A and B are shown apart, each in its own frame.
Chain A
Amino acid sequence: MLRWLIGGGREPQGLAEKSPLQTIGEEQTQNPYTELLVLKAHHDIVRFLVQLDDYRFASAGDDGIVVVWNAQTGEKLLELNGHTQKITAIITLPSLEACEEKNQLILTASADRTVIISLNPEPSEIAMVTKGPVWDCDTGRQVQKVSCFQSTVKCLAVLRRLDVWLSGGNDLCMWNRKLDLLCKTSHLSDTGKKSSLWLSVRFYSMNWISALIEIPKNCVVAAVGKELIIFRLVAPTEGSLGWDILEVKRLLDHQDNILSLVNVNGKLIVYLFIYYVKFCTYIHDLCLDLSFVTGSHVGELIIWDILDWTVQACEHNFWDPSPQLDTQQEIKLCQKPNDVSIHHFTWDEENIFVAVGRGLYVYNLQMKRVIACQKTAHDSSVLHVAKLPNRYDIGSPWCFLSLICSSDRQLISCSEDGSVRIWELREKQQLAAEPVPTGVYLCSERVNKQASHPVKKQQENAILFSLELIGDLIGHSSSVEMFLYFEDHGLVTCSADHLIILWKNGERESGLRSLKLFQKLEENGDLYLAV
């Protein structure tokens, strides 16, 4: 199981079957995806998928085009051309409740230093009036382009409450819906004297805002290199006419560049720079304190209190060499930052699911420790993790069951190895000699699983979970960048092989087709019901 670690070098992609640890045979009874549809439209790596509504999604990638798809039929609804270089961020700007038109705007930022707002395909479209409007003749849709950026926009964020959106690059800009620049921070490299400290840091690119999330009190958190900077947005009042952005605080608790910031409000605010950033989470739910979570390059996971911005919990020992491990191991790990970096994480009420290197970890917020892990979930880095919604959502008459079914939590992960895997978080029936992860158990040369046994003993009173592989989806020939889960239509994955694959539940689709058939029969008047 540690062959790849010890042996060094990454395995060639596409060898999921060869992974000694987690493989599942061809018989996957619990895998519902028995139908797939290959969608071709892109000419380069497809990096982003964003859900538009119940049945539509948009894909964007390095070829600079945005394609809107029907998730049900796999039909290509429209193609938005406008960017000349690869797209670096995409986000939807939801329509205003006041607005009758259900128009959705798609904001895309690109390496060509522009942000384009595209009108999303609801039949009725509003013509938008702004400076430098661009008409996309191909699609007939009005497209607006902002090109007054000095650098590539790395991330976008929408503050629905204020009805503004932010773009983060070298600086932080605030825009309104009409593409008026409301406010702009000075160049981040000039902000304060402290900046000179980290200006000198290896990468110039650290000045870039790599992730942005909204937190209460009109604040946003921006991840800049190792730092988290909290800005407060000041809305215009009687006294001051314009918007303002104030830098409130800098948090410097990460040891390395921040990879992840996640917002819990339901929407991921994503994106950006491949090396440094990823997500920032802002956890805001009923049972927990307000907090946000950050993950970083060296595998730290820090949960922050969202109100006073203090560290609530810190988990940085996913890969932290345990005391038992010798320094040599540590060095080895350091040589492979990819193996310990947090690429992505997601959460639910109780847990945070973290993609660390090739592994998956489940961190329980209450217990403040990792309750389950799958160290080599994939052959190479896990790029995206998502938890499937519980089958019985709050609001449905079955919600009381949700506790019962809470063990039915499914997790999907995709990886650079081109595969997508479906996991289930199961309660352990007994204390078996399975690895119970606290991060202590790690890639030692001692391959024996029993080695971790004493460690596990320490958590007697904990409920133990395990991540069981229940299915894998093999279709892409290159790394799967991202996926999107539709409750009704299955799973959409996008990949570096330029393809998007729509995975569907074959049985359900078959039933739907059957219904459609009888509907058509009825329309044609050919349906005779037996007496």
Chain B
Amino acid sequence: MISAPDVVAFTKEDEYEEEPYNEPALPEEYSVPLFPFASQGANPWSKLSGAKFSRDFILISEFSEQVGPQPLLTIPNDTKVFGTFDLNYFSLRIMSVDYQASFVGHPPGSAYPKLNFVEDSKVVLGDSKEGAFAYVHHLTLYDLEARGFVRPFCMAYISADQHKIMQQFQELSAEFSKASECLKTGNRKAFAGELEKKLKDLDYTRTVLHMETEIQKKANDKGFYSSQAIEKANELASVEKSIIEHQDLLKQIRSYPRRKSKGSDLCSRETEYTQDRPSQAATTSDPEESADTDRYTCRPAYTPKLIKAKSTKCFDKKLKTLEELCDTDYFTQTLAQLSHIERMFRGDLCYLLTSQIDRALLKQQHVTNFLFEDFAEADDRAVVRQESAPAEPSQDRPPSRSLEKCPIPQVLISMGSYRSSVESVLIKMEQELGDEEYKEVEGTESGSFDPQDNLDCLDMDMKGSISSGESIEVLGTEKATSVLSKSDSLGSLTVPLSPQVVRSKAVSHRTISEDSIEVLSTCPSEALIPDDFKASYPSAINEEESYADDGKGAIHFQVGTSPPEPGEAEEGSVENTPLQTDASCCIGKETGGPQGPLSSPALTLSDEEGVVSTPPQRSRQKDQGFHVDFAMENSNLSSRDHSSEGFPAYELDPSHLLASQDDSKTSLDDYSDSTSCVSSVASTSSDRMPSSAHPTGPSSERHKKRAGQNALKFIRQYPFAHPAIYSLLSGRTLVVLGEEEAMVRKLVTALSIFVPNYGCCAKPVKHWVSSPLHISDFQKWKLIGLQRAVSPAGTGALHALSRYSRYTSVLDLDRKTLRCPLYRGTLVPRLADRRTHIRRGSTYYMHVQSVLAQLCAKAFLYTFCHHLHLPTRGREAEAAAASRQASFLQLSLGLVNEDVKVVQYLAELLRLHYTQEHPGAIQPTLRFDYVPSFLYKI
């Protein structure tokens, strides 16, 4: 045993309570210069050091029709988080890259305004001056009072770490889509309600007008109408028209779920809604109104108001807040989701990636992972397992629990185009297309047909942009493609290369540039679905309706795009460089300009049509608005990116430093893609109860940290920590005996990280007991905190303890003794090295986890090695099998002495767990050995 002098230093009573263990200061000459940003509390690896905000946050902004882009709220709602970061400025920037061709108005050939169910656009944007990078999620909400009935909003995840945004794009996109879906669902409801009220108002107004007209008619039966009467008639007519319009709008908004709900919305209410919908839709195909109205009218009676003929002009009225736009419930749900996102992506990228890999790997180890994993995670996994089963049949649909409830087959089909897989398939296709395109493009411009040269050109172009100071560049998008028709099943193909790789390459191009807002990537994957594209195209939402011809479309487009003047103006004021410069450095310019009209027809492959057929009109009014340019550039750029897919990363981009990193990323991405289904299921499942489940997240993290810290303390303080830990690992109940409850609880919590679990329920740990123990307690609990009391009951407890001494190890906190069997293995010393250099609780916790994972692997091998446990030849003596097992444990697994028992115990738990039909139904038996115990003292 360890001699006393070793121990003395750690045996002070009070030290146990203290925080870690302070190193003596280093001598001057050894000290390393301090990290310059250390004062900000940042570590040297933190990219945050340059940014004006202390950590990542989520910003919700609105493009207000009254004041322009404005920040609405941040999550976390704490001014310390974003510090001096200029939210107004950043809102301006992120709102300026909205690609949503959101448009409501009178489309050609239609008498009524049409709602446009625009898919959200997802953009990555960087501002290296601010040190801020953002994932920007644009969405449009409907507001009857707003211009064009739409209110553009965006949610942005702002981080100082560009790689984080890029690499977590998929996850961010998925999570924000959920939040957005929630908002939009609430908004649709609210909008429908608003429309109904409006309709009632109009109806009322009409009756009033009718009455007035009748009165007038009666008043003068002269046969001619007074001007007043004519005015009234006009008014009536306009009201009638307005009613029809609004009815149409209502019909449109109500028809949404049938067409579009992809089951991806996380609002359960929406699910109910969609469930009801199809049945109604099926019965009453056209006159849905009747069915719908009774759905919507069963709300508190609304007293209609008279509507003035002249609508007030909007600048003086107060716009609805976001909360008013959506249902309050939905709004709070969204906020919960957003704060969940914030928590989910908190921390360093490498941490996020590691934990993601970790989670994914753990999921695969479903046989052993119950042993030492956390209860919360286990719970999570249980949900996952339960969910992944139904998700399997159609791989490519986005995992969502509402799916399971959703019985509509066509909805599932429309979901068939799952983002990541679809995108990557597209990439492959693009590769060929892109090359073609390039040849044409470059043929006109530079005359070079070598794609490699093109790339150089592009690089040069980009370098040019550095000199140009501030510029907006679009480096890549994946929008270009609306390839898949609904029935297309390409999406289910596996993915050779993840789009993330593409994006990260695109990023690496830009690392040099400064002072520019970079739109690094957009991923409005909705564009992949033809319907959606149509929807975003200025046209009616009704598919049956014939398309307007291009000319008319153009006109309307013009109308639609002209309003954002103010935004553009502001944008212009921000930009030093004239727009022209901007355009010149935009790679897409060449195609976008003169080439557009020609090249796009050339490229009119059916799938490209959606995107490329628009430029002609836009090119005519090039300075219409930024987003037009962007969209155009996007299409080209993305194709460029895709074309570059064929080349190895270093060829593409000799300048970038992260080639090796990219490789690893690729593998990672491959991995994550191959398990994309599972992992995304996981992510959904983890959000499923945003309000209830989330608070446990950080607390359990803190819990781990503290447990690790206390365990570390225990190991340092007690020289007999090894046999104690051995007891826990080998399934012998450890009783921590002490007078002071807090101390006992603390130690029990700390030691619980070593306790193997029975199943997916809570660990067999009892923190505090004051009554005498019974034999069944030892069967149930593997770690018990026991009160030492002077009362007779207390002596009873001690007495019981001595009676059952063969089942327990007893750690006496007051006397600092341990009574337990001897341990001579090598495993626990690795797990709990007294002289470890680990200082932090969380680090130690992870260390323990890794060693235990290794141990689990051994137990797994031992348990599932067929030849060890089953007789090889028909009849074989038991002794032979036993010796085989022993030699396997010792030679193959390298276990010595008591370590064997640890593995055997774990193997036993594995067997029980595997063979149990109902996990947790049967308690494992109490296993014990007849081995002598020893008394350890400090």
Binding site for B on A (CB under 8 A): 14, 17, 25-29, 31, 34-38, 40, 73-75, 471, 474-477, 497, 499, 501, 504, 506, 509-511, 513-518, 520-521, 527, 529-530
Q: How far is the CA of A31 from the CA of B930 in the complex (A)?
A: 8
**Chain B residues in 8 Å Cβ range of A14:** 799, 803
Q: How far is the CA of A26 from the CA of B779 in the complex (A)?
A: 19
A80 to chain B, nearest CB (A): 23
- Please give me the residue from chain A that is nearest to B870 by CB atom: A518
**Chain B residues in 8 Å Cβ range of A29:** 930
A473 to chain B, nearest CB (A): 10
Q: How far is the CA of A28 from the CA of B928 in the complex (A)?
A: 12
Q: How far is the CA of A499 from the CA of B866 in the complex (A)?
A: 38
Q: How far is the CA of A27 from the CA of B928 in the complex (A)?
A: 12
B775 to A36, Cβ gap below 8 A? yes
For B775, give its contact among A35, A501, A511 (CB under 8 Å): A501
Question: With an 8 A cutoff between CB atoms, is B404 at the interface?
Answer: no
Docked complex: B755-802 residues within 8 A CB-CB of A = 774-776, 779, 799-800, 802
For B870, give its contact among A28, A73, A74, A515 (CB under 8 Å): A515
Question: Can you pick out 20 interface pairs between chain A and chain B where the beta carbons lie within 8 Å of each other?
Answer: A14-B799, A25-B932, A26-B933, A27-B930, A27-B931, A35-B925, A37-B925, A37-B926, A38-B775, A471-B930, A474-B804, A476-B775, A477-B775, A477-B803, A504-B925, A510-B904, A510-B908, A514-B869, A517-B911, A518-B869
6 more A-B residue pairs beyond the given contacts A36-B925, A37-B925, with a C-beta to C-beta distance below 8 A: A27-B930, A36-B926, A499-B775, A513-B912, A520-B914, A527-B866
Contacts across chains A and B counted by CB atoms under 8 Å: 95
**Chain B residues in 8 Å Cβ range of A475:** 775, 804
Q: How far is the CA of A108 from the CA of B927 in the complex (A)?
A: 34
B863 to A517, Cβ gap below 8 A? yes
Q: How far is the CA of A37 from the CA of B867 in the complex (A)?
A: 29
* Most chain B C-beta atoms within 10 Å of own C-beta, residue among A38, A476, A497, A520: A38
What per-residue 1/0 map shows which CB atoms of B13-32 lie under 8 Å from chain A? 00000000000000000000
For B869, give its contact among A25, A26, A31, A511 (CB under 8 Å): A511
Docked complex: B302-352 residues within 8 A CB-CB of A = none
What per-residue 1/0 map shows which CB atoms of B826-865 lie under 8 Å from chain A? 0000000000000000000000000000000000000110
B806 to A26, Cβ gap below 8 A? yes
B772 to chain A, nearest CB (A): 8
A506 to B927, Cβ gap below 8 A? yes
B915 to A34, Cβ gap below 8 A? no
A317 to chain B, nearest CB (A): 36
Q: How far is the CA of A504 from the CA of B908 in the complex (A)?
A: 15
A517 to B914, Cβ gap below 8 A? yes
- Please give me the residue from chain B that is nearest to A475 by CB atom: B775
Q: How far is the CA of A518 from the CA of B870 in the complex (A)?
A: 8
B803 to A26, Cβ gap below 8 A? no
Question: With an 8 A cutoff between CB atoms, is B602 at the interface?
Answer: no
Known: A27-B932, A40-B776, A529-B866. A34 touches B911 (CB 8 A): no
A38 to B870, Cβ gap below 8 A? no
**Chain B residues in 8 Å Cβ range of A74:** 922, 925
A13 to chain B, nearest CB (A): 10
A38 to B926, Cβ gap below 8 A? yes
A243 to chain B, nearest CB (A): 49
What per-residue 1/0 map shows which CB atoms of B900-938 lie under 8 Å from chain A? 000010001001101100000010011111111100000
**Chain A residues in 8 Å Cβ range of B925:** 35-37, 74, 504, 509
A517 to B915, Cβ gap below 8 A? yes
A38 to B866, Cβ gap below 8 A? no
**Chain B residues in 8 Å Cβ range of A17:** 802-803
A265 to chain B, nearest CB (A): 34
Q: How far is the CA of A31 from the CA of B929 in the complex (A)?
A: 10
For B803, give its contact among A31, A474, A501 (CB under 8 Å): A474
B933 to A516, Cβ gap below 8 A? no
**Chain B residues in 8 Å Cβ range of A504:** 925
Question: With an 8 A cutoff between CB atoms, is B231 at the interface?
Answer: no
A526 to chain B, nearest CB (A): 9
**Chain A residues in 8 Å Cβ range of B933:** 26
- Please give me the residue from chain A that is nearest to B917 by CB atom: A520
Q: How far is the CA of A34 from the CA of B930 in the complex (A)?
A: 8
B776 to A499, Cβ gap below 8 A? yes
What per-residue 1/0 map shows which CB atoms of B610-636 lie under 8 Å from chain A? 000000000000000000000000000
**Chain B residues in 8 Å Cβ range of A509:** 925
The 6 A-B pairs at the shortest CB distance, nearest first, are namely: A28-B930, A514-B869, A38-B776, A513-B911, A475-B775, A37-B925
For B779, give its contact among A27, A37, A73, A530 (CB under 8 Å): A37
Question: With an 8 A cutoff between CB atoms, is B663 at the interface?
Answer: no
* Most chain A C-beta atoms within 10 Å of own C-beta, residue among B904, B914, B930, B931: B930
A515 to B775, Cβ gap below 8 A? no
- Please give me the residue from chain A that is nearest to B806 by CB atom: A26
B911 to A516, Cβ gap below 8 A? yes
Q: How far is the CA of A354 from the CA of B634 in the complex (A)?
A: 97
- Please give me the residue from chain B that is nearest to A418 by CB atom: B803
- Please give me the residue from chain A that is nearest to B869 by CB atom: A514
A477 to B932, Cβ gap below 8 A? no
A495 to chain B, nearest CB (A): 10
A35 to B927, Cβ gap below 8 A? yes
Question: With an 8 A cutoff between CB atoms, is B550 at the interface?
Answer: no
* Most chain A C-beta atoms within 10 Å of own C-beta, residue among B803, B931, B933: B803
Question: With an 8 A cutoff between CB atoms, is B651 at the interface?
Answer: no
Question: With an 8 A cutoff between CB atoms, is B878 at the interface?
Answer: yes
**Chain B residues in 8 Å Cβ range of A34:** 927-930
A26 to B931, Cβ gap below 8 A? yes
- Please give me the residue from chain B that is nearest to A30 by CB atom: B930
B926 to A474, Cβ gap below 8 A? no
Q: How far is the CA of A31 from the CA of B908 in the complex (A)?
A: 20
Q: How far is the CA of A234 from the CA of B708 in the complex (A)?
A: 80
**Chain B residues in 8 Å Cβ range of A38:** 775-776, 779, 926
B934 to chain A, nearest CB (A): 10
Q: How far is the CA of A521 from the CA of B904 in the complex (A)?
A: 19
**Chain A residues in 8 Å Cβ range of B930:** 26-29, 31, 34, 471
For A477, give its contact among B800, B802, B867 (CB under 8 Å): B800
- Please give me the residue from chain A that is nearest to B915 by CB atom: A516
- Please give me the residue from chain A that is nearest to B821 by CB atom: A26
- Please give me the residue from chain A that is nearest to B914 by CB atom: A517
B264 to chain A, nearest CB (A): 33
**Chain A residues in 8 Å Cβ range of B878:** 511
B936 to chain A, nearest CB (A): 16
Q: How far is the CA of A75 from the CA of B870 in the complex (A)?
A: 26
Q: How far is the CA of A326 from the CA of B925 in the complex (A)?
A: 53
A41 to chain B, nearest CB (A): 12
What per-residue 1/0 map shows which CB atoms of B861-905 lie under 8 Å from chain A? 001101101100000001001000000000000000000000010
**Chain A residues in 8 Å Cβ range of B804:** 474-475
Q: How far is the CA of A35 from the CA of B870 in the complex (A)?
A: 22
- Please give me the residue from chain B that is nearest to A512 by CB atom: B911
**Chain B residues in 8 Å Cβ range of A499:** 775-776
Docked complex: B500-540 residues within 8 A CB-CB of A = none
Q: How far is the CA of A514 from the CA of B933 in the complex (A)?
A: 29
Q: How far is the CA of A480 from the CA of B799 in the complex (A)?
A: 18
* Most chain A C-beta atoms within 10 Å of own C-beta, residue among B869, B881, B925: B925
A518 to B866, Cβ gap below 8 A? yes
Q: How far is the CA of A530 from the CA of B930 in the complex (A)?
A: 37
Q: How far is the CA of A38 from the CA of B924 in the complex (A)?
A: 10
**Chain B residues in 8 Å Cβ range of A31:** 930
Q: How far is the CA of A477 from the CA of B805 in the complex (A)?
A: 13
For A73, give its contact among B864, B922, B926, B928 (CB under 8 Å): B922
**Chain B residues in 8 Å Cβ range of A28:** 930
Q: How far is the CA of A499 from the CA of B926 in the complex (A)?
A: 15
- Please give me the residue from chain A that is nearest to B881 by CB atom: A511
B869 to A515, Cβ gap below 8 A? yes
A513 to B776, Cβ gap below 8 A? no
**Chain B residues in 8 Å Cβ range of A37:** 779, 925-926
**Chain B residues in 8 Å Cβ range of A506:** 927-928
